[in-house]
Structure 1
Amino acid sequence: MAERGGERPPIPEALPFPVVDAHTHLDACGAKDAADVTAMVDRAASAGVTRVVTVADDLAAAQWAAQAATWDPRVFAAVAVHPTRTAAFTDADRAVVEELAHQPRVVAVGETGLDYYWDYSPPEAQQEAFRWHIDLAKRVGKPLMIHDRDAHEDIFRILAEEGSPEKVIFHCFSGDAAFASRCVARGYVLSFAGTVTFRNAHALRDALAVIPSYQLLVETDAPFLTPHPFRGRPNEPYCAAYTLAALAQFRGVPTETLAAEVTATAERVFDLPSVTAR
């Protein structure tokens, strides 16, 4: 949290229907133990964000996320090794991720994929690890949560070559309307973070318009990507409420309607129990 500038944004008025933060990093937000996790999800719940999926980017984070999901019933986990961490992805590492992926409160394999923006892992290593995570998701029967940065075509190619899992999520979707349409046609689910609210995010908002609500999720990717007008300040799961309200405005639908629709999508994709309005 200290790495982000300024204070946390104010907690907004609660959404009229509870939503799921489909991708956050509670540990990177500053949570260390069960008390921290409970306090963080309490803040989220006060804004109508009643469940969160905390996501790993390395082995230590994967082990922490799986444990954190046992500390509070509102928390679920996704486990994988981030593509920028795959330069040395050993068999022992894979065994740890696979064991965690079988745990009942781990609801997705992720985040995995390709990142050609940062020069931390060779593309070949990233692609090999991505293929392994695809296979793992299929073997454990859980969604594949994809990190895609400057790698649209290779992501699509590898998914086609390996065969997509039944459920595929593009976390923090970063494509345009044409790419979104291609994803929708393949049945992929697209998750939008605070980036869609940024002033220069015209292509993202165009993409949003072509996505059916049953293929749409909302996320924070906290502590990063805090929605406008709080960009650059520390993000937390409760800020998904700001993004959800913005998504509804961009789509021209009532906030309550979109909240109910994306919650139904999250429940289906992550196999979560259904909730009803407050």
Structure 2
Amino acid sequence: MSSNETPPPLPEPLRVAVADAHTHLDMQRDGVEESLAKAASVGVTTVLQVGCDLAGSRWAARTAAVHAAVHAAVALHPNEAPKLEAVGTLDAALGEIAELAALPEVRAVGETGLDHFRTGPEGRGAQERSFRAHIDIAKRHGKALMIHDRDAHADVLRILEEEGAPERTVFHCYSGDAEMAKVCADRGYYMSFAGNVTFKNAQPLRDALIVAPQELVLVETDAPFLTPAPFRGRPNAPYLIPVTLRAMAAVRGADEDAFAAVLAANTARAFGYAL
């Protein structure tokens, strides 16, 4: 196993339990039970398992149904929408996402939104139509909306305004700057920060974290992606939440335990579950 494939070591456990607000257990090397056990051993006792397509969304719902520590989010990733529209199955897929969203173990509709990085102009109409449909699904079922926003800040914010955002809207892997954070704060949107907030070139993210209201901040892994420094490039997993949380607390000048307690309460409130 090369050094880049070696999982990072377990960090020092948190003294206050928190949640991983966005992860992909189905893409990680450990099985669900092992992943959850390792996370719990360092104080990460809840995870939001996120679907990106129909198969992944079904898996998320099934997994959440049998593991109390797992809550599900279901959606068609923005980059899936043009593919499905090209073969004429987007509407049927959206119909199944709506059925899954009605399940009690499903706490959010997402990750949905816009991705102008991987999808060119020819696919943006399908992305936008899918995004608007997901917003409607979240509102109809009273679920949180989990946003994927890559290089599309202005359009994502515009569509949320045009459609009317759900009461609980979360920007997963927040990627905006401090000015956008102020807009999100004004609208009551949650901002979930991932391991990339620790990267050397991520000062705009840290600036955003500083101005984001404490009650709207979440922490996530987006595992197996975005492993925090100093382990960047190695496999990410929910047990590494303490690394990112401690870095975030340092940026904000916050006490680690108090900050963890706030993030735990924020995540429960955002996704509608009891602590």
Length-normalised TM-score, structure 1:
0.94
Instruction: Tell me the CA shift for residue 184 of structure 1.
Output: 0.5
Q: Which residue of 1 aligns with 2:106?
A: 106
Range with greater deviation from structure 2 (127-136 or 84-93): 84-93
Instruction: Tell me the CA shift for residue 117 of structure 1.
Output: 0.3
Is the CA contact 1:15–1:47 (under 8 Å) kept in the aligned structure 2? yes
Matched AA of 2:101:
A
Matched AA of 2:271:
F
- SS in structure 2 of the partner of residue 134 of structure 1: helix
Residues 1:97 and 2:92 are matched in the alignment: no
Matched AA of 1:173:
Y
Instruction: Tell me the CA shift for residue 5 of structure 1.
Output: 3.4
Instruction: Tell me the CA shift for residue 71 of structure 1.
Output: 2.3
Instruction: Tell me the CA shift for residue 265 of structure 1.
Output: 0.4
Q: Choose from 30, 38, 42 the match for 2:33.
A: 38
- SS in structure 2 of the partner of residue 27 of structure 1: helix
- SS in structure 2 of the partner of residue 8 of structure 1: coil
2:219 and 2:93 map into 1 onto residues whose CA distance is 30
Q: Which residue of 1 aligns with 2:250?
A: 249
Percent of matched pairs sharing the same residue: 52
- SS in structure 2 of the partner of residue 209 of structure 1: helix
- SS in structure 2 of the partner of residue 245 of structure 1: helix
Give 1:179-218 correspondences, 5 Å limit. Answer: 179-218=180-219
- Point out 4+ residue stretches in structure 1 off by more than 6 angstroms: none
Cα displacement string for residues 77-127 of structure 1 (whole angstroms, at most 9, x for unaligned residues): 100000000012422211211111111111000000000000377011000
Q: Which residue of 1 aligns with 2:8?
A: 9
Q: Choose from 42, 58, 67 the match for 2:62.
A: 67
How many aligned residue pairs are there? 269
1:57 and 1:174 map into 2 onto residues whose CA distance is 19
Cα displacement string for residues 177-217 of structure 1 (whole angstroms, at most 9, x for unaligned residues): 00110111010000000000001111000000111111000
Cα displacement string for residues 131-157 of structure 1 (whole angstroms, at most 9, x for unaligned residues): 000000000001100000000000011
Matched AA of 1:83:
P
Cα displacement string for residues 31-81 of structure 1 (whole angstroms, at most 9, x for unaligned residues): 5xxxx2111110001111110001011111000111011221101110000
Give 1:118-197 correspondences, 5 Å limit. Answer: 118-119=118-119, 122-197=123-198
Q: Which runs of 5+ in 1 are unaligned?
A: none
1:6 and 1:95 map into 2 onto residues whose CA distance is 38
Is the CA contact 1:37–1:72 (under 8 Å) kept in the aligned structure 2? no
Give 1:17-56 correspondences, 5 Å limit. Answer: 17-30=16-29, 36-56=31-51
Q: Which residue of 2 aligns with 1:230?
A: 231
Q: Which residue of 1 aligns with 2:81?
A: 86
- SS in structure 2 of the partner of residue 5 of structure 1: helix
Q: Which runs of 5+ in 2 are unaligned?
A: none
1:30 and 1:92 map into 2 onto residues whose CA distance is 31
CA RMSD of aligned residues (A): 1.5
1:43 and 1:205 map into 2 onto residues whose CA distance is 28
More helix by share: 2
Length-normalised TM-score, structure 2:
0.95
Range with greater deviation from structure 2 (58-67 or 116-125): 116-125
Matched AA of 2:65:
T
Matched AA of 2:196:
T
Matched AA of 1:104:
P
1:130 and 1:139 map into 2 onto residues whose CA distance is 14
